[in-house]
Amino acid sequence: MRIVQGIFFSLILICAATSHAITGLETRASFSSAVEKAGPAVVNIFTEKKTKTRLAHPFFNDPFFSQFFMRQAPVRQRVEKSLGSGVIVSSSGDILTNLHVIEGATDIQIIFHDGTEHAAIYVGGDQSLDLAVLKLDSATNLPYLQFGDSDTLKVGDVALAIGNPFGFGQSVSMGIISAVGRGNANISQFGNFIQTDAAINPGNSGGALVDSTGSLIGINTAIATKSGSSSGVGFAIPSNLAKAVLEGILTTGKVNRPWFGATGQDLSSQLAERLGLEKPQGVLINELAPNGPAQKNGIKVGDVILALDGHKVTDTRSFNARIVSTLSLNNRRVPVTVWRNGQEQEVQVKFESMPERKESDQLFLRGRNPLDNYTIEQLTPSLAQELDMPLQSEGVVIIDAPEQRSVFGLSLKKGDLLEQINGSRIHTLDDVVQALKRRPRQWNITYRRGERLYRVIVQQ
C-alpha cells in the first residue's frame, strides 16, 4: 500500500512539474507582501534602568542580624539593560509596546527597520493590561501599522509574529490563530487574549501580530513555556483592546475605563443546568456595588450576563475585556442581555467612568515600626474590584510593599487587608497612624489575605 501511494504521489509531482513547465506560472505561496507592509512599522526597543542594591552578606538575610546591619549595608548602583519590540501606530510616532519592556527605564532607544536609532519618551501605560505608549519627538511621515478588527478573528486564520527575538534583529514567524478569547492564561483580569502558535520568544514582547494582509491584530505579550523559549503557545493582546488603551492615554493621559459596578463568576456545567441554560456560558452576578451603574439600572444579583452591546459574553474575563475595549460605553445606554427567571431579558445600562483613586486615600508609612516603607490605602468599591476583593469590603489595604523584607521580618503583600495592630481595630488610615505611634515591646499584627486570617508577632 505504501508503495502504491508513493508511486501515485510521484505521478502527481511529475504532472505538477510538467504543468508548471508548460504554463510557466509561479506556484510559490508567500506572505512577503504582508511582511513588506508591516515590517518597517515594527521596531526594536532597548532600555536602560538604574537600580540600587545592597551588597550581599550572610548576616543580612538573618532576621536578628539584619535589624543591626541592613541599614548600614553598602549600596551599589548598577545598570540593567533589556530589549523588546514595539509597533508604530501613527505617522507622527506613537508606539505601542508592553509595559514590562520599558517599566522603570531611564533611557529608551528605538531602532528602526533600516538600523537608524531614535530616543523615545514614555507617555503612559496600563499595568493591568501590560501595555505602554511611547512617543518619538519631531517624527513625521513614519511607516505605521493600521489596526485590524480583532473581533473578526477566527481559529485557523494565518498569523505572523514580527519582533526582535533574543536580540537577533527583526524576525518573522508564521502560525495560525489557535484560540480567541483566551482568559485562563493568568496574565490579566482583563483576559480575552489571542492564542497563536506563531513562535514568540524573549525579545518579541511588544511586537506585532499581523494577519495575512499585514494589518495589526494583536500585541505579542506572553508565552506559556517551561524552557523560556517558544513552545507553540503564545498570547497577544487583541488589537481592539490595544487601540482603546492607546486612544485613552493619548486623549486623557490615562485609561478611562467604563465601570459596570458588579462582580460575578463563571458558570459550571452543573450550575448552568440548574439555571436552565443550555451551555455554561455567561457571568453570574454575585455582588453589586452600592449605587453603582449596574444596581441603578436594574441588574440584579442572580442575573446571568449573556451579551453586552450585541457581543456574546463567555466568562468574566471576556466580559471585563469587552468593557475595557469599548470606551464608547461611557455615558450612553448599552443593551445588556441577561438570563433571569428562566428567560432572556434585555436591560439598558448606562455605564459610568471607573471612580478615581484619590491621593488623600493613600499613605506612605515611615518610622521604626513593622510597616516602614509600606503604602496603604482606604478601600473603595473600585479599588476592591481592582484587587479582586468583595465590592463592599471596608478598611485599609496594602497597595505597595518594599522589595526587601523589613528589619522586623514582616512580609505583607499588595492586597493584604489590615485587621488589627496590637489589639486596635483598623478601619481608617488614621487608625493605622495612631496604632503606630505606640512603642510596644512587641508588635501583634492581624491581617487578611484572601479568605484566610493571619496573625504575626514581631519584636521591637
Q: Answer with the residue of higher pLDDT: 35 or 24.
A: 35
What is the pLDDT averaged over residues 138-167? Answer: 89
pLDDT at 8: 38
As a whole number of angstroms, the distance between CA 293 and CA 301 comes to 13
pLDDT at 15: 44
And the C-alpha cell for 422? 496590637
pLDDT value at 71 more than 60:
no
Whether 258-353 and 359-459 share one fold: the answer is yes
pLDDT at 79: 58
- The tens digit of pLDDT for each residue in 168-215 reads 778 899 999 998 877 655 555 555 789 998 888 878 889 999 999 999
Q: Answer with the residue of higher pLDDT: 60 or 319.
A: 319
pLDDT value at 423 more than 80:
yes
- The tens digit of pLDDT for each residue in 190-202 reads 557 899 988 888 7
pLDDT band at 106 (very low <50, low <70, confident <90, very high): confident
pLDDT value at 4 more than 70:
no
Q: Answer with the residue of higher pLDDT: 144 or 229.
A: 144
State which of 69-83, 91-105, 383-397 shows the largest mean pLDDT: 91-105
As a whole number of angstroms, the distance between CA 359 and CA 402 comes to 19
Q: Answer with the residue of higher pLDDT: 120 or 232.
A: 120
pLDDT band at 382 (very low <50, low <70, confident <90, very high): confident
Q: Quote the strand ranges of 183-259, DSSP E.
A: 193-196, 208-210, 216-223, 234-238, 258-259
**Using CA atoms in the order 366, 370, 374, 379, what is the torsion angle rounded to 10 degrees?**
-110
pLDDT value at 1 more than 60:
no
pLDDT value at 11 more than 90:
no
Q: Which percentage of the chain shows pLDDT scores above 70?
A: 80
What is the pLDDT averaged over residues 27-52? Answer: 83
> Do residues 149 and 133 touch, judged by C-beta distance below 8 A?
no
CB-based burial label for 308 (10 Å; 0-12, 13-18, 19+): buried
Q: Answer with the residue of higher pLDDT: 84 or 382.
A: 84
As a whole number of angstroms, the distance between CA 369 and CA 402 comes to 13
Catalytic residues: 100, 130, 205
DSSP secondary structure letters along 293-308: HHHHTT--TT-EEEEE
pLDDT at 258: 80
So where are the chain's domains? 37-135, 150-252, 258-353, 359-459
pLDDT at 218: 93
- The class that CATH gives domain 258-353 is mainly beta
Residues near 229 by beta carbon (within 8 Å), at least 6 away in sequence: 201, 202
pLDDT band at 77 (very low <50, low <70, confident <90, very high): low
Q: What is the largest CA-CA distance in the chain?
A: 96
**Beta strands 362-364 and 375-378, pairing class:** antiparallel
Look up the CATH architecture of domain 37-135. Beta Barrel (2.40)
Rg (the chain; Cα; Å): 27
CATH level 3 topology of 359-459: Pdz3 Domain (2.30.42)
Closest alpha carbon to 205 in 187, 191, 190, 189: 187
Q: CATH assignment of 150-252?
A: 2.40.10.10
As a whole number of angstroms, the distance between CA 418 and CA 416 comes to 6
DSSP secondary structure letters along 367-414: SSSTTTT-EEEE--HHHHHHTT--TT--SEEEEE--SSPPTT-----T
Closest alpha carbon to 301 in 282, 277, 285: 285
Residue with grid cell 489595604, as numbered in its chain: 397
> Do residues 264 and 305 touch, judged by C-beta distance below 8 A?
yes
What is the pLDDT averaged over residues 81-95? Answer: 89
Least confident of 19-28, 340-349, 362-371, 420-429: 19-28
> Do residues 70 and 63 touch, judged by C-beta distance below 8 A?
no
What is the pLDDT averaged over residues 379-395? Answer: 86
> Do residues 432 and 426 touch, judged by C-beta distance below 8 A?
yes
Tell me the three state secondary structure of residue 179: strand
And the C-alpha cell for 402? 518594599
pLDDT at 9: 37
**Residue 37: what are its φ and ψ, rounded to 5°?**
-75, -45
What is the pLDDT averaged over residues 374-378? Answer: 94
Computed over every residue of the chain, the mean pLDDT equals 81
As a whole number of angstroms, the distance between CA 378 and CA 403 comes to 22
pLDDT at 104: 83
